[in-house]
């Protein structure tokens, strides 16, 4: 016997599409029971018209990464994810290092933090979510920039 298809909520699809626009993500997927919705967009980068630039800027193409360097980079990321002081993003959104544009960042490298102290905020679905320090220590690495889109589980910073 065929199972009836779950009802698709158009408001949810609109909300997911709005999330893509607000966060500059290229795709988002949600699953509720048997219903799975994936909203994605293709970004076509057009070349800049010559009339837009008054000062010509030449950008060199990056050199290919040797296999050894690429393997070392992958290993460094693997080491980072195993670090006991790693703070991961609990959600998809846009990370902000300061409470408002132009103000001082919540923390910088070398900042002593207490457990529960706000490290940064992540805007998700027009809601600002404070990300607290999971433990006391010193911020040794900040792995995200201000106003940078982040994914669930993405490394944000390291506290030692």
* Structural domain count, the chain: 2
Q: Does 4 fall in a domain?
A: no
- pLDDT at position 43, please? 52
Same domain for 83 and 152?
Answer: yes
pLDDT tens by residue, 6-47 = 666 677 777 777 777 777 677 777 777 777 777 776 654 444
Domain identity same for 33 and 91: no
- Please report the pLDDT score of residue 84 as a whole number: 86
Residue 91 lies in a domain: yes
98 and 149, same domain (yes or no): yes
**Residue 50 resides in a domain:** no
Q: Do 151 and 97 have their domain in common?
A: yes
Check if the beta carbon of residue 97 is closer than 8 Å to that of residue 105. Answer: yes
Answer whether residue 139 is part of any domain: yes
Is 51 part of a structural domain of the chain? Answer: no
Q: Is 148 a domain residue?
A: yes
pLDDT, tens only, 121-149: 999 988 999 999 999 999 999 999 999 99
3-class DSSP assignment, residue 71: helix
Are residues 154 and 92 located together in one domain of the fold?
yes
Same domain assignment for residues 152 and 88: yes
Q: What number of other Cβ atoms are within 10 A of residue 23's Cβ? A: 20
DSSP track, 123-153:
EETTEEEEEE-SS-EEEEEE-S-TTEEE-TT
Q: Tell me, yes or no, whether 155 lies in a domain.
A: yes
CATH number at residue 94: 2.40.50.100
Same domain, 21 and 94: no
Residues 27 and 82 in one domain: no
Mark whether 96 and 145 lie in a shared domain: yes
Decide if 130 is inside a domain.
yes
pTM higher than 0.75 for the full model? no
Domain around 22: 10-40
């Amino acid at each position: 016997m065929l199972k009836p298809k779950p009802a698709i909520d158009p408001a949810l699809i609109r909300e997911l599409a709005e999330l893509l626009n607000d966060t500059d993500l290229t795709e988002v997927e949600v699953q509720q029971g048997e219903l799975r919705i994936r909203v994605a967009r293709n970004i076509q980068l057009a070349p800049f018209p010559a009339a837009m630039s008054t000062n010509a800027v030449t950008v060199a193409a990056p050199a290919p990464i040797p296999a050894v360097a690429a393997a070392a980079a992958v290993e460094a990321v693997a080491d980072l994810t195993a670090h006991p002081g790693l703070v991961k993003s609990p959600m998809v959104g846009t990370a902000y290092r300061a409470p408002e544009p132009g103000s001082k960042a919540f923390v910088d490298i070398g900042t002593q933090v207490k457990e529960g102290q706000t490290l940064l905020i992540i805007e998700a679905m027009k809601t600002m979510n404070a990300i607290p320090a999971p433990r006391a220590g010193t911020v040794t690495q900040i792995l995200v920039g201000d106003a940078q889109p982040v994914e669930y589980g993405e490394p944000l910073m390291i506290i030692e």
